[in-house]
Amino acid sequence: MSGRIPVAGPSITDREVAFVLEAVRHGWYDQANAFQERFEQAMAKHVGLPYAVSLPSCTSALHLALLALRVGPGDEVIVPDLTWIGSAAPITYVGATPVFCDVDPVTLCLTPQAVEACVTPRTRAVISVDLYGAMPDYAALRALLWPKGIALIEDAAEAIGSTRDGVPAGGWGDLSVFSFHGSKTVTTGEGGMLLLRDPSLHATVLTLREHGRVPGGRLFWNEQVGFKYRMNGISAALGLAQLGRLGELVALRRQLWTWYRARLEPHGLAVNPEPPGLFNSVWMVTTLLPDLPKETMIRWLIAEGIDSRPVFYPLSALPAFEAWPSAQQARQRNRVAAQVSAGGINLPTAPVLSEAQVDRVCARLLTGLSTLRRKAA
């Protein structure tokens, strides 16, 4: 690694190399799906849901989840305003309307109160995002949604290894999705996973994933138009190796979080609160800068050889959604999402970083705050 401090990336050991080499050498012919099946079984066991389907991305997992639930035109799906567009874009793929909901100022996740204010007779599902490793009060969300017949989709893309009230991330939803992008705690290079409780939904997803061909059915006989949404065996082998190191990978990120807390909180900069009931796997160490635009600090850190990321912009503020009536309403309503986004940045959380590198990040961040505030005065 060069002298530049990266914001994200994987931890790769000889274990991952060995698994990938095995897949390259032997993952063909009658073993063509062996690593995908092993990865799916391991994820299902970890999360505690009976069915897991490996996919090329978390976005494709959300797409299939909505299709399996038969969400479509005329339906509404509630999604946090503060998240990556991949959490909301699949809603538009199926012709439904995304309803952008405000978030809690501590966890940056949905609250039952905010969700309830967005529910209408057209609400079919809620996509709840476990942002940066935090998780909302899922027991309260279930109590709100299930009596109304509204499906809960848990977007655990950023939270593998987190728990809420002892339940692993991904274990709360009717359906749950994960991302294995190269920046995530567990990576396949690029990939995703959909986990389900219902066997009929599972069967629907397997058919949709295979260009509409029923698994085990007549060869090249397509019952409907579906999608090419399969994970390859080499990626699955990498993910399986990483999942076996999950405890270690989470510990590396929480060590970084501990170092940041010790250096920044005495100066009034909080990072990733961990309220009662939450164990946070800390996908990204996040802090909120008082009275300083995030882009200003990001440029300062770049000049210092340090990469960082902006906390997500509210979806309702993006050009992609600005003309949607639901986005226009959200811009008037979602004060927390707007405030958090304005000054929020993700600090370097690559698991290969040393304590000395965290020292450097914190020193330059604090110097930047002082310098930039004086310039702005």
> Which residues are tagged catalytic?
184
Q: Do the beta carbons of residue 20 and residue 234 sit within 8 Å?
A: yes
β-bridge mates for residue 94, sequence order = none
